[in-house]
């Protein structure tokens, strides 16, 4: 699948570049973003806890600071992977820590945390970061990080999105006949360029059709308006 090939190429660029420090990958759930990242790193000979660290889900700002500092024990390319990071970026302190890890000042990227209980209040970060999210367009907190990263937003590429959907219509349509599938998709495909369109929109279209074959299209179109 093209999405996997693109992710693999961007990982190669990230690792081989001396002045690119992060990669942001955005695509809907279920497309294998995480498995592609981990498989590619393994294919390149990198080992978890030796060359890279992986973190998924909720993380406090203090835990993030500690996680960033642990990059110093890693061997090159010193990659930190953050998966399902939406909750992490809802915290202004966490966002500031990530920005400092990716921004050079006087040739160094220094991460600092002034807080009670923190023994080492600053350190130089020499690692790289991969952020994996399900919804880049809906996450305003990520915007300050975009110009510091390679950004791959699968949903922002209508042609690639359309090709994926057409190759996986059975995933969305269930047990509908081929004619029914094509009839629904023929109408849905017109909206791929819409900023409100996503893979979830396709799933909803088929759900509306299964529930009400006569009126599904009007119901679905109204549900697209946000």
Cα distances from 111 to residues 48, 120, 166, 203, in angstroms, run 23, 10, 45, 42
The DSSP annotation for 34-60 comes to HHHHHHHHHHTT--BTTTEEEEES---
Range 186-211 average pLDDT = 89
Instruction: Tell me which of 137 and 203 has the higher pLDDT.
Output: 203
In the numeric block, the tokens 């500031």 are attached to: 96
Of the chain, the percentage scoring pLDDT greater than 70 comes to: 96
**Residue 210 tokens, joined:** 């299964």
Q: What is the pLDDT of residue 10?
A: 96
Least Cα distance to 71 among 102, 40, 116 occurs for 102
Least Cα distance to 57 among 25, 87, 79 occurs for 87
Reported as a single tens digit per residue, the pLDDT across 212-225 is 999 999 999 988 76
Where residue 3 falls among pLDDT bands split at 50, 70, 90?
confident
Reported as a single tens digit per residue, the pLDDT across 32-59 is 899 999 999 999 999 999 999 999 988 8
Of the chain, the percentage scoring pLDDT greater than 90 comes to: 54
Q: What is the pLDDT of residue 139?
A: 65
**What span, in angstroms and rounded, lies between the C-alpha atoms of 172 and 185?**
10
Three-state DSSP class for residue 114: coil
Please report which helix (H) or strand (E) contains residue 66, including its range: helix 61-69
Where residue 138 falls among pLDDT bands split at 50, 70, 90?
low
Q: What is the pLDDT of residue 102?
A: 92
Entry field: residues in the chain: 226
Pairing of strands 110-112, 122-124: antiparallel
Instruction: Tell me which of 112 and 106 has the higher pLDDT.
Output: 112
**What span, in angstroms and rounded, lies between the C-alpha atoms of 39 and 8?**
9
């Amino acid at each position: 699948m093209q999405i996997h090939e693109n992710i693999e190429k961007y990982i190669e660029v990230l690792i081989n570049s001396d002045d690119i420090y992060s990669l942001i990958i955005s695509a809907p759930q279920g497309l294998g973003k995480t498995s592609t990242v981990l498989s590619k790193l393994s294919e390149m000979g990198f080992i978890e806890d030796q060359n890279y660290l992986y973190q998924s889900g909720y993380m406090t700002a203090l835990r993030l600071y500690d996680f960033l500092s642990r990059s110093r024990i890693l061997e090159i390319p010193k990659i930190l992977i953050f998966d399902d990071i939406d909750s992490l970026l809802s915290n202004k302190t966490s966002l500031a820590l990530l920005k400092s890890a990716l921004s050079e000042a006087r040739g160094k990227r220094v991460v600092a945390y002034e807080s009670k209980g923190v023994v080492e209040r600053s350190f130089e970060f020499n690692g790289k970061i991969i952020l994996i999210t399900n919804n880049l367009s809906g996450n305003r907190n990520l915007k300050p990080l975009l110009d510091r990263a390679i950004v791959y937003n699968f949903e922002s590429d209508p042609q690639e999105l359309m090709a994926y959907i057409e190759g996986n219509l059975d995933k969305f349509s269930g047990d509908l006949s081929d004619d029914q599938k094509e009839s629904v998709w023929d109408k849905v495909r017109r909206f791929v360029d819409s900023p409100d369109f996503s893979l979830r929109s396709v799933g909803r279209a088929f759900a509306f059709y299964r529930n009400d074959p006569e009126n599904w299209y009007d119901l679905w179109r109204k549900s697209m308006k946000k």
